[in-house]
Structure 1
Amino acid sequence: MGPMRRGRGGFRGQRGAGRRHNPTSRPSRPHPAPAPPPEPEHECEESSEEEEIDEEEEEEYVQPAVNAYQTLLKSLRVPEHSKRQPPRKRQKLSHVSDDEETEDQEEPESGEEDEDASENEDASENEDAAQQLLSEHQESLEPERERRDPFVLHFADPDENELSLRLKAIANNEWTTEKLNASGLGKCLLQVPATASGIQKRPTVKSTKDINLKPRLAENAANILGSFSDAEKALAPSIFEYQDVLFGGRTPQNAPRLRQMACLHALNHVFKTRDRVIKNNEKLSTHQDAEAEYRDQGFTRPKVLFLLETKQACVRAVDTITELCHFEQQENKKRFLDSFSAPEDKFSDDRPDDFRELFEGNDENEFRIGLKFTRKTMKLYSKFYNSDIIFGSALGLRRAIESGDPKKKDYDFLSSIELVIMEQADATVMQNWEHAEYVFSHLNLQPRDAHGCDFSRVRTWYLDGHSSHLRQTLVFSAYLTPQINALYNKHMKNIAGRIKCTPDYTNGVIESLTYTNIRQTFTRFTSATPPSDPDARFTFFNSALLPLITKTISSYSADASGGPGILVFIPSYLDFVRLRNSLVDADFSYASISEYTDATDVRKARSHFMSGRHSVLLYTGRAHHFHRYNIRGVKRVVFYGIPENPRFYEEVVGFVGKTMERGEAEKGDVWVRCAFSRWEVQALERVVGGKRVGRMVGDKGDTFDFV
């Protein structure tokens, strides 16, 4: 971070307290509620020898390499022994961009002798010429392309008046909204702070050639990403223009391209920040302008935060970074792969592709690791305060903040984050969204300690406490939930604007079900407010659905094969516990499978349910998320609530269809019942389709049948 001293008391802990990875183990279980953990073992502890290496590497980031100003003046001065020689033609210096960082100068051409020229040309004329050429040279350092660079406009040199107006509009929650016609992205809304300038015309980004990239990234980016698809053309301007992005259409198919775009943007941002600091260090060391201020830093060095779900996802992100930028050295890479990577062949092809993408390889979900760049080296396991990029899970970062003395939480390493990339927000919701909220609530806070910061170099909007409104946040999710929407409304308030993309759910998954001969009934119950929804749902179940279950079981013939086969799907674990406890005195036998059920008990519950020994099976949404069990013997399904993931609805209804295929149930014996309230519009739309959801939520009738 420029001339900043290496701070004492920097964060040194990184080894998670999670379980050791076993490639044959089942996916990791969620953490229902945070608990103060023991202080984690430090993973970033380095030997004193490595500290010396760090200091040497840091010199290139802090110390100027050449005296450009003196070199230029020296090259322009006329030597004493040549004062009597005829003057040569002066040739203008070639344009040199910040990216190239060269001081190359074309050799002067020999000109014809001027017989009328004075042999006693005053040396001051040469000095004036030097100053003139120096001025031209300095102007060439900021060509028009750089002045239009989004990095310069958003971070390095924002317009103070426009910044003030946009911050005021954000404080008043005033946004100008525009609907975008984005092919392949569904419904896209662009919002910018409501100012006189309004929504500017979005740049056209057809390929990586249209992005202002550092030269060291341009060639690889062209080879790897190349031209963008129609959907990517709609997203790319927002990503590379530093707008917040909430994209609700992530799939295993488009995930690699999204990751490449995000990693390219992160690398470009880090390299531009780093190069600007080095150049300004050089200017300060040569005292070119003693009065000049160079506001080019934050409070701490880390600039990019990747919020990922598993260690294997971290490996994929690091691999993408190394593909986009070739480093001569990759320190600690073997150690990283040994700890974070595992063979991605744990599951058979009959498992859904989204499940395999999330849980293949190393599925540990408590980790954090720092990544540091020098000119030729990428170093993993760097200490947080010396890192450029931090990778971590929401749980791992929360443990890092809370480690040590609970009264002295260390979140200063997040104080200067300028880019957050959250790759699988839907998986975080299924894990424990509270951890993500905790991390976002500790981003861009004023640091408690200086950590060697040179405050004369800190950007003014950091000092004014506005850094959260200049931070860019990229959130990719398979679908949008109320929690993710709340994150968008609360923490994604960027002065550059924000874009929200929701896929087209005109038809819904119910239109594409393989089994179309199953009667599906949706019943709406009354719920006054979202907080009262759990109580209203429980009351409705006891008054309407439980009598139906009891009646079905009592009328079931004891001579029939198997049992009634009633599966009750419960999205929320808290609702599951409440419902399970209420059935203790029920007249029928039941089993339960949740995300915390032991493997032995799971096998027993599935076996007894399939044989008919248990009439009812309580099954949680998160159990299905983490294991994707294929449950046999299901003839009837009761959805206690609509699952947020529409694939869960499709797969659970598929249990009934497979039972019919095996000849274990007739068409008249199977049915599906779903309870929903008007607060589940998003989840309901993904299941029944946008063309029906309005009528189902707003009509006077409360029962809707699909056959």
Structure 2
Amino acid sequence: MAVKPSFKRGRPNPRAKKQGRTFTSTRLQDETKDLDIPEETHTEDDTPDDASHDASDSDLDASEPPVRPYNSLLLSLQHAQPPNADRRKRRRLNRGDAERGESPALSDREIAVDGLQPDEEVLEEVESADHDEPSELDDIDQDEPDSTSQSDPFHYHLGDRDEERLQNRISALKDNSIVSSSAKPRSGGSVQVLRPTTTGSSGDLKLPTSTLDPDALAIKSRFQESAQKVLKKAGDLDKDLAEHIFTYRDTMFASRTVKNAARIRKLTCLHMINHIFKTRDQVLKNNARLSKLGDGDVPDIRDQGFTRPKVLILLETRDMCAKYMDAFVEICGPDQQENKSRFQDSFVDTEPKFSSDRPEDFRELFEGNGDNDFKLGIKFTRKTMKFFAQFYQSDLILASPLGLRRTIESKGSKKAEYDFLSSIEVVVVDQADAMLMQNWEHVDFVFDHLNLQPKDAHGCDFTRVRSWYLDGNASFLRQTIVFSAFMTPELNNIFAKRMRNIEGKAKFLPEHLGVMQSSVVRVKQTFSRFDSAKPANDPDERFEYFKSAVLPALVRLPRPAEGGQGVLLFVPSYMDFVRLRNHFATSTSTESLSFGVISEYTDMPNARRARSHFISGKYSVLLYTGRAHHFRRNNIQGVKRIIMYGIPENPIFYQEFVDGYLGRSINEGLVDAAETHVRTLFSRWDMLKLERVVGAQRAKKMVMDNTGDTFDFL
């Protein structure tokens, strides 16, 4: 990486100034000529119209060079002031502007000089918080004590670490030398905790979480009142999570529900805002300390990463992003919110879309603005919260996996731009189960680009960069927090390979009793196990079993005219759906069966037509995909029998099919309860799905039983 660590983001180096080395903007421009900075580009989703404000301004602006020509004007104004002048921020919002969510007008002092129009983003560069000027002491919490106690998780995790302990833990993680323990949390279920093996000292910081209070969690004094409101109604779940989240331990929580979502969201936001402001105050105080030093020895201060963004939140929809921002505003309580009205226009949708008969998990995900292509940068100062900040000027980035990937892979760019992810210290993934219904590859792509060595300097002061960033070990100090409604192999992969925190990691799992136990409708339910030697062979083995054991019985069913058929064939995977659809259309063994299809790619008119023909009996079989049900929750009538080609990932689907589809047919007199039947295919690799339907204890017996491969329940 050909960079020169001496240049800054449009301002003199405080320590270089003490040594008589003040750089002007002309010098800075000369030094940046060797950097390969891409041209400004816009993707299709970056059009600056009203519908996509965030796509244009929240982009990382990969073409923005570290220094702009207007900096010379700023520096000239700066040097024109008296030596002891109090150089405060020039841009202030009055209260009226703040209430309207508008940006302030430029003052007379910022009017164009020599025909140059003042650039708001240039002014923002002078105000960067991770490298804020030492003169901005008005932005530091003056009443905040120095956070140097080893009982403070922030200082313990990111402060002046014992290098020997740090290297020992990193080596243990690289060698997969870990110690595991299990416990029963207060809120139920189980929690598995894994820590790197250490020698000489336990090295684990424990917080008194039996009764949550801001002091016990080392919350900054300015957020104490807000923290009291968040923690006032803390229950067992909050105490269980706080023990791991606030000690910077990686956390996988697989028991997220609509009811507990708001609680865990506020608790996590409290931790993130505390981390952001402690990082910011530490940098500003060190800036002030360096500015007072003489020409003697300068202390070795390591308090920064390569770039400013420190927290990344991956979310599925804009509506969930708006809920997170409400939580941040509630906790932070900023005096001013720049671009707030613009954020409301782009992310908030209060129009009701669905009736109350839709499932609550469906309404939580899709009721508001359900767009899943977005990215948003947030910048904090002591009194201001700015929406739509440039990524390199942001403290916090909220994005969907799709939106962030499109930003990194912007069309027309000379090279992919992901340096803004190089110094992320906290990652939160919420509603991971919903992301599984999209393209999970987007999530893997984002994690692949976290904490990589940057390609350009971006105004970094390398003398202030923490040692583990320079050594390429930043991922070992990154905290990763994932919330999901259930556990899947993809999430297990995140837990095993992406969570490599030196503080350890914790996995919360619920105690599965099985949704089958709570079914209202009592019908015969059969689970058929087929042999599958390897996960890679599972799709082929499943298809062969279906053709040999299930399809012949399906063909022998009575015709619709005789009161038979009405078979709903549920297929979780779209690839399996295509294989079955082609087989039904071309095989001679299925010539007597008429069938329709509804997938996530079926348009609404064709879907309505298929459902109508299925109700009337024109279609004997209806092929239905898991993602189609996830996105639409179709109310399918006329179902008399159900064949599940695979167990649905979401156990709620299974209950909706039995109680909803079959229950309605029974209540309407279309079929007698004794004639209905649910048959489900599974293999040993479906263990996680199976235990959510039949219960953990039954699932183990069904997978390991050698006496038979068919299990009937009523």
TM exceeding 0.5: yes
Q: What value does the CA root-mean-square deviation take over the aligned residues?
A: 2.7
CA displacement, residues 334-361 of structure 1 (integer Å, 9 cap, x when unaligned): 0111011101521111111111001111
Partners of 2:273 and 2:42 in 1: CA distance: 22
Note the 1:481-496 alignment, pairs <5 A.
481-496=488-503
Aligned with 2:197 (options 187, 194, 199)? 194
Tell me the amino acid that sits aligned with residue 435 of structure 1.
H
Mapping for residues 240-639 of structure 1, pairs under 5 Å:
240-287=246-293, 290-343=297-350, 345-405=352-412, 408-505=415-512, 507-516=513-522, 518-552=523-557, 555-556=558-559, 558-560=561-563, 564-585=565-586, 586-587=590-591, 588-639=593-644
1:40-87 deviation line (CA, Å, top 9, x unaligned) = 75655799542254245438952223899xxxxxxxxxxxxxxxxxxx
After superposition, the Cα gap between the structure-2 partners of 1:43 and 1:645, relative to the gap in structure 1 and judged at 3 Å, is same
3-state SS, counterpart of residue 158 of structure 1: coil
The separation in 1 between residues aligned to 2:355 and 2:502, in whole angstroms, is 46
* Higher alpha-carbon deviation: 46-55 or 539-548: 46-55
| 1:150 matched residue in structure 2 | 153
Q: C-alpha deviations, 1:640-670, integer Å up to 9, x for none?
A: 0011110011111121111101111012321
Q: Which residue of 1 aligns with 2:128?
A: 58
User: Residue 43 of structure 2 contacts residue 410 of structure 2 at CA under 8 Å; is this kept in 1?
Assistant: no
- Equivalent residue for 1:648, pick from 648, 653, 658: 653
Q: Deviation at 1:20?
A: 12
Does 2:189 match 1:182? Answer: no
Once the two structures are superposed, what CA deviation does each residue of 1:188-224 show, in whole Å capped at 9, x if it has no partner?
Answer: 0011101123474742222232211111111111023
3-state DSSP of counterpart to 1:169: helix
Q: Secondary structure at the match of 1:436?
A: helix
Identity between Structure 1 and Structure 2 (%) = 48
Match for residue 224 of structure 2? 218
Structure 1 residue 235, shift from structure 2 partner: 1.1
| Conserved 8 A contact 1:202-1:237 | yes
Q: How far did 1:175 drift?
A: 1.1
Q: Distance in 1 between matches of 2:130 and 2:698?
A: 62
1:233 to 216, 234, 239: 239
CA offset at residue 16 of structure 1?
7.0
Q: 8 Å contact 2:560–2:566 — kept in the other structure?
A: no
Contact 1:643/1:683 (8 A) holds in 2: yes
Separation in 2 of the partners of 1:566 and 1:375? 62
Return the letter of the residue paired with 1:580.
R
Listed one character per residue, the Cα deviations across residues 445-483 of structure 1 (whole Å, up to 9, x for unaligned) are 111111111111100000001100100000000001001
1:204 paired residue number: 208
> Structure 1's 19 and 454: CA in aligned 2 closer, same or farther, altered over 3 A?
closer
Offset of 1:142 from its aligned partner? 5.8
State the partner residue of 1:90: none
CA distance in 2, matches of 1:496, 1:13: 40
Q: What one-letter code is carried by the residue in structure 1 that aligns with 2:142? A: E
Change (3 A) 1:428 1:18: farther
Residues 151/581 of structure 1: CA separation in 2 closer, same or farther (3 Å cut): same
Change (3 A) 1:626 1:12: farther
Shift of 1:578: 1.1
CA distance in 2, matches of 1:141, 1:438: 38
Distance 1:172-1:11 versus aligned 2 partners, 3 A rule: farther
Specify the code of the residue in structure 2 equivalent to 1:413: F
CA distance in 2, matches of 1:379, 1:662: 56
**Contact map agreement 1:246 1:476 (CA 8 A) in 2:** yes
Which residue does 1:17 correspond to in 2? 45
Q: CA contact under 8 A between 1:207 and 1:228: conserved in structure 2?
A: yes
| Residue of structure 2 in register with 1:33 after alignment | none
1:475-517 Cα offsets, whole Å, 9 max, x none, are 0000010011111111011000100011011x2111001112x
Deviation at 1:630, TM superposition (A): 1.2
Residue by residue over 1:541-572, the C-alpha shift from the partner in whole angstroms, topping out at 9 and shown as x without a partner, is 111111111111xx336253xx5110011111
- Corresponding residue SS for 1:330: strand
> Structure 1 stretch 164-173 or stretch 13-22: which is displaced more?
13-22
Corresponding letter in the other structure for 2:656: E
**Structure 2 unaligned residues grouped into runs of 5+:** 11-31, 62-102, 104-116
- C-alpha deviation, 1:22, in angstroms: 13
Determine helix, strand or coil for the equivalent of 2:378: strand
Match in the other structure for 1:89? none
Asked whether the equivalents of residues 570 and 640 of structure 1 are also in contact (C-alpha less than 8 Å), the reply is yes
Q: Distance in 1 between matches of 2:277 and 2:307?
A: 16
Contact 1:521 1:673 in 2 (8 A): yes
Distance 2:572 2:658 in 1: 15
Contact between 1:369 and 1:381, CA under 8 Å: does it hold in 2?
yes
What do the CA deviations read for 1:149-187 (whole angstroms, capped 9, x no partner)? 111111122221111111011001111111122022401
Cα gap change, 1:253 to 1:63, in 2 (>3 Å): same
SS at match of 2:556: helix
Q: 2 CA distance for matches of 1:58 and 1:497?
A: 33
String of CA shifts for 1:345-400, please: whole Å, max 9, x gaps. Answer: 21111111111001111000000010001121110111101100001000000000
Q: Aligned match of 1:5 in 3, 6, 9?
A: 9
Contact 2:322 2:348 in 1 (8 A): yes
1:690–1:165 distance in 2 versus 1, CA, 3 Å: same
The residue type paired with residue 316 of structure 2 is E
Measured against aligned partners, the alpha-carbon deviations of 1:590-637 in whole angstroms (never above 9, x if no partner) come to 001111100000100010001111000000000000011111001100
| Aligned counterparts of 1:19 and 1:185: Cα–Cα separation in 2 | 48
CA contact (8 A) 2:126 2:132 kept: no
Residue equivalent to 2:23: none
Number of equivalenced pairs: 618
Distance 1:280 1:332 in 2: 30
TM-score, structure 2 as length reference: 0.82
Structure 1 SS opposite 2:377: strand
Following superposition, the deviation at residue 314 of structure 1 comes to: 0.6
In structure 2, distance between residues paired with 1:20 and 1:352: 36
Change (3 A) 1:14 1:670: farther
Q: In 1, distance between residues paired with 2:709 and 2:412?
A: 54
Letter in 1 for 2:310: K
Structure 1 stretch 5-14 or stretch 159-168: which is displaced more?
5-14
Deviations 1:82-106 (Å, cap 9, x if unpaired)?
xxxxxxxxxxxxxxxx985359xxx
Contact 2:9 2:125 in 1 (8 A): no
SS of aligned partner of 1:342: coil
- Computing the radius of gyration over CA atoms, which structure comes out larger, 1 or 2? 1
